[in-house]
Structure formats: C-alpha cells, structure tokens
Structure 1
Amino acid sequence: MEKTWIVVADSSRARIFYAANRVKPLTAVTELNFPESRLREQDIYTDRPGRLFESANESRSAIEAPDIREQQQLAFAREICEALDAGRNRQRFETLMVVAPPTFLGALRQSMNHQLEKMVDKSVQKNLVNEEEARIREYLFD
C-alpha cells in the first residue's frame, strides 16, 4: 500500500488521517473545523429579501436570496482541498481516500484541482466524521 491520506469530512468538520497499511491504526494528520456551518437560519438570514423596482412599470419583486449554506459548504470544501494540496505538494501522500455525505462529497470534488483528483483512489458517500477510527477502517478496507 502506498502512502495514503484519508479525509473524513462533513460541512462543519474534517479529519485527515495517514494510513501506513491496511492493518495498522490510522494516524491523525490534522483536523479542520468550520463552526459557521452550525449557525441557525435566523442567524444567517437576518433580513427580509430585498425588493427590485422596475423602472419600465410600477411592478416590484423580491430579490432571491443566495444559498448561503451552499456557499459555506463550498468555502469549507476549498479550505480542505487547499490543505490536501499542500500535503500533495510536499509529497506527504501518494493516494487519497475521501469519506463524506453525498452533498459534501460533491462540494469536495468540485473544489479539487486536477492533480488532486487523479490521486483519489476511493470515495465513500457516508457521514463518518464523528465515528471511531475502527469504524472508518471498516468502510475503507473491508
């Protein structure tokens, strides 16, 4: 088995491990947190949508609010991918395994550069970020 990093993430937390082989325990490399993703809707959207006034006639319409949750997910996914890319540049791993819920896995894939994408050996669509190391190993190596 090559030098492998395993990233286990959701929209608020990411844990990166090093796997020397299939049987040895995983070694923690780093942990990233994004507490902003735990904010309540009322703390994010503090105002009513803005109004748009049409100059051609007297009609008004609400301006659609941007999807802040999606923007936050993409921002955290970019942060995780920057950490992974830094490890790749320092040749700290040769292959990468990614474990995340389906929507966040999509955000991670969208945020990866081409070199990092080529290093992904396995993807698992599951939220295991709060699970023990042994449980994570079950999904990846069994």
Structure 2
Amino acid sequence: MSTGYDRMKIAAGTWVVVCDGRKALILCNKGDATFPNLRTHEVHEQENPPASEQGTDAPGRVHQSVGTARSSVETTDWHDEAEREFLRGVAGRLDAAIAGGETSALILVASPRALGMLRPLYGEGVKQAILAEIDRDMVKLPVYEIEKLLAA
C-alpha cells in the first residue's frame, strides 16, 4: 500500500509536528535519515467542552433602522474559536523553538482544516524551517505508526 509519503528523509533533530485542532504531538527524530526514531518531545492538548457548556445564550436579534423587520445574528462557533486559539498556541511554540535553536527543521502533519488554520500563523522562521506539510490527520495514531507511514 502506497501512502504517498514513501522514502521521506527525516534528518536527525527534525521535529515532526502532528496536530489537529485539539491535540499536538511534537516528535523529534533521535535516529538518522536512514533509520528514523521518532520520540515524543512534547504533547499539547486542549479541553473543548460541549457547545452547551461554552455558550448558552440564544442567538441575538437585530432591529432594522427602517421599518419593523428583525433578524437573528449567527451564534459564535465556540469549538471553531477554541481550535483557532489552540493552533495559535502551537504556531507560537514553533516560532519559539526555531528562534531558540531547539530545531531548525519541521515536518507538519495535520488535517487539511488544521493546516489551513495554521498556515497564516507561521512566523518567518517557521516558514523557512518547514521541509514538508502532509495533509492527513494522524494525531490519534501511535508514534510507531506515524514513523512507519512517514519513513516507509
């Protein structure tokens, strides 16, 4: 079975960041490009309670300035806001890691939605450090499976 990531070279010290809107695994290659050995460096998780616990108000109403017409205002998607805030934190952590010399190379693995949210948040250092972006949700896989899929 071809994964589309065949023969990806992951140099020693490269961070593989596997994330979605609620969890981020920062893995570091402790092996070499020929025999990668991904080890968990950091895990970031976010609690995202049910919407009923995050916002209980009914949708707001707007009165038109002319006439008696009224319309409702769309409610805030609290899950979406929480995911965006979480990914801002992940992007900030990556910026700090690059600036602090913790790593100089990144491979990002995230769902297409999370990648779309992350891209505008990349700092200049992160943009230059990215070796690859893989649009696949692997955050729930064990580390050895992620390693196998990336370095097959």
Structure 1 length-normalised TM: 0.88
Task: Give the total of aligned pairs.
Answer: 140
What does 1:106-125 align with in structure 2 at a 5 Å threshold? 106-125=116-135
Structure 2 equivalent of residue 93 of structure 1: 103
1:29 CA drift (Å): 1.5
1:110 CA drift (Å): 2.2
Deviations 1:58-86 (A, max 9, x none): 11110122333322221111100111111
Structure 1 equivalent of residue 37 of structure 2: 25
Structure 1 equivalent of residue 6 of structure 2: none
Identity of aligned residues (%): 24
Structure 2 unmatched runs, 5+: 1-10
Runs of 4+ in structure 1 over 3 Å off:
none
Question: Do the aligned partners of 1:78 and 1:112 also contact (CA within 8 Å) in 2?
Answer: no
Question: Do the aligned partners of 1:2 and 1:94 also contact (CA within 8 Å) in 2?
Answer: no
- Taking the aligned partners of 1:5 and 1:105, their CA distance within structure 2 comes to 16
What does 1:1-142 align with in structure 2 at a 5 Å threshold? 1=11, 3-20=13-30, 21-22=32-33, 23-36=35-48, 39-142=49-152
Q: Per the alignment, in what secondary structure is the counterpart of residue 138 of structure 2?
A: coil
Deviations 1:29-69 (A, max 9, x none): 11111112xx2232234121011112321111101223333
- Taking the aligned partners of 1:105 and 1:137, their CA distance within structure 2 comes to 20
Structure 1 unmatched runs, 5+: none
Whichever structure has more helix as a proportion of its residues is 1
